[in-house]
Structure 1
């Protein structure tokens, strides 16, 4: 295996970005047109909670006021994923998270504010349900981030080595085209699907030269182990919080 870092292999340009844009536009369109149906076409049964409410409760609800408010909020929320996508394309690493965060905040606010349109007897139970749902969302998101941020376990086996945990992968030694230890982390341009939490970078990223890389980085400084594969254009970058551990992994893989 060569220890010389050649020019990084180029991915198919634009395909990932176009796919992400299409998905973002679909989400935006679904939110926007749902809002239009509720506000202007009185599709009130699309409103969560109202559609399952007993008939006597529905008769006490200000359906038009609830529909106008909910529909307007959904139309506003429809633009948040697009905002996040735009921020990401301009180079803000947390762009999509900003958009998703705004979307969640709008949905939570809408759910709480919508209680004002309920009859007094139904407000308390609805408020409890809204708080419970909010807590579940916060706990689920927090648990997901914590699990993703955990250090990966790297196991060297007879014919391959395995990186366990979030974004885990198994790589056969015979598939390694180049194995390099560089003093600095190559410049990154954006995160396409992954986590950026301080010095912790994990998941799929794009380099400034448009190359793809799967990152398992625990430190913002080098050295960094770079693995280029024969079967995939996406290279792998690994480093540990302790530089000595990164060097040890490099030497262990070189002997494998």
Structure 2
């Protein structure tokens, strides 16, 4: 958690610093595309208040994230998702709002582009989040076991070398390809003492089943300890 808080503090300070540079030091070159515009368009953007409001947007984003930061000190389970969601919605929505300060002849195009970007990005993020957080389970046959959902697969039970029931999840040192959320780890991660592993772990639930295959390592648990222990017993028969 400490590392996550430090990373978010760095992002917050970056937003505040960039916004301050734009507002107080007239560092308009920091705004994407401003430096490549014709001189007359730059002057019109300044006169319209576009660059000033861009600086205010950056500062407001940083302040908003700072206000939400204490959630990390509570038992609220979705702090990271709220922080990221706020930043994304506020910045994209702010970009749409800033269209009204665009050069007059480009306002309509700017609004259409920024609105389309908002819809596309939000749709992609929501869709990806929904897909990644969908429920999973283990399905068994006489010869195979299958983990359903995103990142899941089917394996021969004969390839199982070791099955263990762990009281808690070993430390995860890196996310390689997956979802590392406040409540869920799903996908490929590097686990201390185990190396690259597939994780299907609900962080509020224990114990954890560790499955070592011939060429893969898997950590998984269910919604309840009873479900996890049932999976363990069925996998143990194949060891």
TM-score computed with the length of structure 2 as normaliser: 0.66
Structure 1, unpaired ranges of 5+: 1-16, 181-191, 197-201, 205-212
Contact 2:81 2:182 in 1 (8 A): no
Contact 1:80 1:100 in 2 (8 A): no
Deviations 1:78-103 (A, max 9, x none): 13334444213211112222222222
- Distance of aligned partners of 1:175 and 1:85 in 2 relative to their CA distance in 1, 3 Å threshold: farther
SS at match of 1:176: strand
Q: Are 1:88 and 2:91 an aligned pair?
A: no
Equivalences for residues 171-210 of structure 1 within 5 A: 173-178=160-165, 193-194=180-181, 202-203=184-185
Query: What corresponds to 2:6 in structure 1?
Result: 22
Partners in 1 of 2:69 and 2:91 — Cα distance?
19
Deviations 1:21-50 (A, max 9, x none): 121111111111111111111111222343
Deviations 1:115-139 (A, max 9, x none): 2322221101110111111012111
Contact 1:66 1:117 in 2 (8 A): yes
Partners in 2 of 1:46 and 1:20 — Cα distance?
27
Query: What corresponds to 2:201 in structure 1?
Result: 215
Q: CA deviation at 1:74?
A: 0.9
Partners in 2 of 1:46 and 1:251 — Cα distance?
59
Deviations 1:152-187 (A, max 9, x none): 3647799x96746546699x844433379xxxxxxx
Q: Does 1 or 2 have the higher relative contact order (CA < 8 Å, sep 6+)? A: 1
Contact 1:226 1:236 in 2 (8 A): yes
Partners in 2 of 1:111 and 1:249 — Cα distance?
48
TM-score computed with the length of structure 1 as normaliser: 0.62
Query: What corresponds to 1:128 in structure 2?
Result: 112
SS at match of 1:93: coil
Structure 2, unpaired ranges of 5+: 168-178, 187-198, 213-217
Taking only aligned residues, the RMSD between alpha carbons, in angstroms, comes to 4.1
Aligned pair count reads: 206
Query: What corresponds to 1:146 in structure 2?
Result: 130
